[in-house]
Structure 1
Amino acid sequence: MPAFVPGKAKTKVGAISKLTYEGKATWIPTAFVDSFRAEVVLLHYAKQELNLLYGSNDNALRWDRWGYAHLSQLASERSKEAYVQWTPSTELWDDDGPRDKIQHMSEYLKDFRVLSDAGLSEGVKFGVSFMTLTVNAPEHIKYLYHRLQGQYGVRFSRQKLSCIESASDSPSTKIIFNCTGLASGTLPGVADPKCYPTRGQVLLVRAPHVKTNIMRHGADYETYVIPRPGSNGNVILGGYMQKGVGDGSTYASEAESILARTRALCPEVCQEEVEVLAAFAGLRPSREGGARVEREEILVGGRRRTLVHNYGAGGTGFQAGFGMAVESVALVKDILEETRRDVPQARL
């Protein structure tokens, strides 16, 4: 039984991984829609660590916890291969911060502690430190791709979809996983009006002396410094959170602002000369009310098909994507069990 998984790399590969690791699919082609170019950019610039900023609903809290456990295992067992590593992290807020989410995550974050008021910088009202998981996004996606292809025999194809129904290109396809990110706002058959872009811009710099994460969250800005694992000293400096802005261009004025803010936030950034390697802009696939993980029954050419939506993670694709994939696959457990005996198990 083929399952078709069109869409965004982070959630898409997560869904494929969950299917193949459970031995429930052997052929899972993937497709790319009109917004693919913008979403590839996200792989290069995205905030690649688990943080406390995004998503405070019950779903997001659950997905974050599963993501932390999953990335922890990768960091412990195959850190270099998967480009995931433990990194000390500090997060600061100009207000009281998302206390409910912080309380929830404090139950499992390694070495979590609340910073004393005396140690906070001017203008900062609250801060915490903990051990986070940082991910070299482009290399981690390559790792997942090659593991799925080489170890599990997953086949990937690139297609342009006219509608979500066209993902069911085989009579034997019973399940479509919709992981199309921002395209879910316009793709016929989905066209979710709750989808919107959140623009960001970052700098990729050479700064091997920077070894820790630090983030500061303000009312109208977000500043962060994130070392990139396995990159010989490259660091991500950011950033911006521009809700509803769909412009993928980069701007010199924003680059200057990022450099100024990160130097003020992290003295290590200006201790030695920092070489700016590139500027990236990308669009986070946001959604009002949070990410959508939901099952829907549709008809394609008179045949019943099951469509599982898995999109709208915003800036949390790497920390929530695994949990979203687990729940997406669980939604079709009945179909997978019905057809499991028809799936060749030898290759898995």
Structure 2
Amino acid sequence: MGREIVIVGAGVIGLDTALLLAERGHGSHITVVAEHLPGDTSINYTSPWAGANFSAISGGDTNALRWDKLGYESMMKLAEERGVEACIAKTQSLEYWDKMPPRTKIDSMAGYLRDFKILPPSEIPAGCQFGISFTTITVNAPRYIQYLHNLLKDKYGVTFIRQKLSKISAAFSSPSTRIVFNCTGNGARVLEGVQDAKSYPTRGQILLTKAPQISKNVMRHGEDYETYIIPRPQSNGNVILGGFMQKGVSTGDTFSSESESILQRTTALLPELVEGGMEVLAAFSGLRPSREGGARVERTDIQLDGTKSRTLVHNYGAGGTGFQAGLGMAQDAIRTVENELSKLSLKGSRL
């Protein structure tokens, strides 16, 4: 690992971090080290299982609201400029709440979401207290991360190494490594040198269906559940139906009772699923990398065997918001090491 910048983890958070660094000219300085890479499937590799979309599922704290805004603006630009190749698309979205969401969250979303509209009571399902419509971004999650993987390798010269690290200090095995970004998601719970007790998995189960008549995103936010319908771009009519938010549950099994619950809730929310014909293709489960108090985006220093301290930036714990907030989180993570990055740029200019 003879590279100045090492990113540990190749989920969407790690890939977003690599992308922003590469766009700033650091691609040849970056090595991504990960147990799993785009194209793999594992219960311990969350990103391929995501819905995925931009939604109001995130928290209402200041960081979450800022990351959502930054992520939305970045993903919207990507959808407009490279949507087909990146497998992301602008899509109409309808979102409903069983209980009124915080005013700060509503005001924040209203300030940047395109075509934002508060729905009148006549357009809200029974049992809901609030609803909005806006233009969202839907993402074909497995194909999007493969797009980022190929872009980073082929255009920017980023190196990828398949390796499971037992401790975060191993990312500094090369003396030339100046900065390490820890983007290990659920791995942050057990990775030696991190072992974040605040981290925990949040299990979800989804259904992959064929329903080409569905072109809009629909979500219902309950007190202890989430119901969602997400058309998957560049997939010949596939639609993701969900789901569950099971805190602390770490099984990768899928259950017929949960599939039945998803079908009941989604078809009640959007009858067009049944009316236009729908085929259930498969059921999947994934473990969102959640964290008490929200995601951790923080610079620290690490001491290695008596040598001078080196820079470690933590960037993990996005829960179910990795695709929508990842680019915003990456901006904040990179901002913590601007001085070190400027030194790398100067070094690179002399090579």
Task: Provide Cα deviations, 1:132-189, integer angstroms capped at 9, x if missing partner.
Answer: 0111111111111111111111110011111000111211001110000011111110
TM-score (normalizing by structure 1)? 0.95
Task: Provide Cα deviations, 1:6-57, integer angstroms capped at 9, x if missing partner.
Answer: 11511100111111111134132222359993243x3333131111121211
Q: How does 1:52-71 map to 2 (within 5 A)?
A: 52-71=56-75
Task: Provide Cα deviations, 1:58-90, integer angstroms capped at 9, x if missing partner.
Answer: 111111111111111111111101111110000
> Which secondary structure state, in structure 1, belongs to the residue aligned with residue 14 of structure 2?
helix
> Which secondary structure state, in structure 2, belongs to the residue aligned with residue 262 of structure 1?
helix
- Whether 1:314 and 2:283 are equivalent positions in the alignment is no
Partner residue in 2 for 1:110? 114
Letter in 1 for 2:128: V
For 1:200 and 1:58, how far apart are their aligned partners in 2? 25
Stretch of structure 1 that moved more, 270-279 or 232-241: 270-279
- Whether 1:215 and 2:229 are equivalent positions in the alignment is no
Partner residue in 2 for 1:30? 32
For 2:321 and 2:120, how far apart are their aligned partners in 1? 28
Partner residue in 1 for 2:13? 11
- Whether 1:336 and 2:341 are equivalent positions in the alignment is yes
Letter in 2 for 1:305: R
Partner residue in 2 for 1:174? 178
> Which secondary structure state, in structure 1, belongs to the residue aligned with residue 54 of structure 2?
coil
CA contact (8 A) 1:13 1:145 kept: yes
Moved over 4 A (4+): 33-36
CA contact (8 A) 1:211 1:227 kept: yes
CA contact (8 A) 1:47 1:315 kept: no
Letter in 2 for 1:315: G
Q: How does 1:255-274 map to 2 (within 5 A)?
A: 255-274=259-278
For 1:152 and 1:45, how far apart are their aligned partners in 2? 26
Task: Provide Cα deviations, 1:304-341, integer angstroms capped at 9, x if missing partner.
Answer: 21100000000000111001111111111111112322
Letter in 1 for 2:314: H
For 1:73 and 1:163, how far apart are their aligned partners in 2? 37
- Give how far 1:245 is off: 1.1
Letter in 2 for 1:324: M
- Match 1:83 to one of 76, 82, 87: 87
For 2:330 and 2:338, how far apart are their aligned partners in 1? 13
- Give how far 1:195 is off: 0.4
Q: How does 1:155-234 map to 2 (within 5 A)?
A: 155-234=159-238
Distance change in 2, residues 1:253/1:298 (3 Å): same
For 1:160 and 1:75, how far apart are their aligned partners in 2? 33
TM-score (normalizing by structure 2)? 0.95
For 2:173 and 2:348, how far apart are their aligned partners in 1? 19
For 1:54 and 1:279, how far apart are their aligned partners in 2? 24
> Which secondary structure state, in structure 1, belongs to the residue aligned with residue 66 of structure 2?
helix
For 2:230 and 2:98, how far apart are their aligned partners in 1? 20
Distance change in 2, residues 1:108/1:136 (3 Å): same
Letter in 2 for 1:169: S
For 1:269 and 1:317, how far apart are their aligned partners in 2? 27
Letter in 1 for 2:163: Q
CA contact (8 A) 1:75 1:84 kept: yes
Question: How large is the RMSD of aligned CA atoms in angstroms?
Answer: 1.7
Partner residue in 1 for 2:23? 21
CA contact (8 A) 1:26 1:343 kept: no
Letter in 1 for 2:12: K
Letter in 2 for 1:284: R
What is the aligned length? 345
CA contact (8 A) 1:23 1:345 kept: no
- Match 2:282 to one of 278, 300, 308: 278
For 1:150 and 1:118, how far apart are their aligned partners in 2? 51
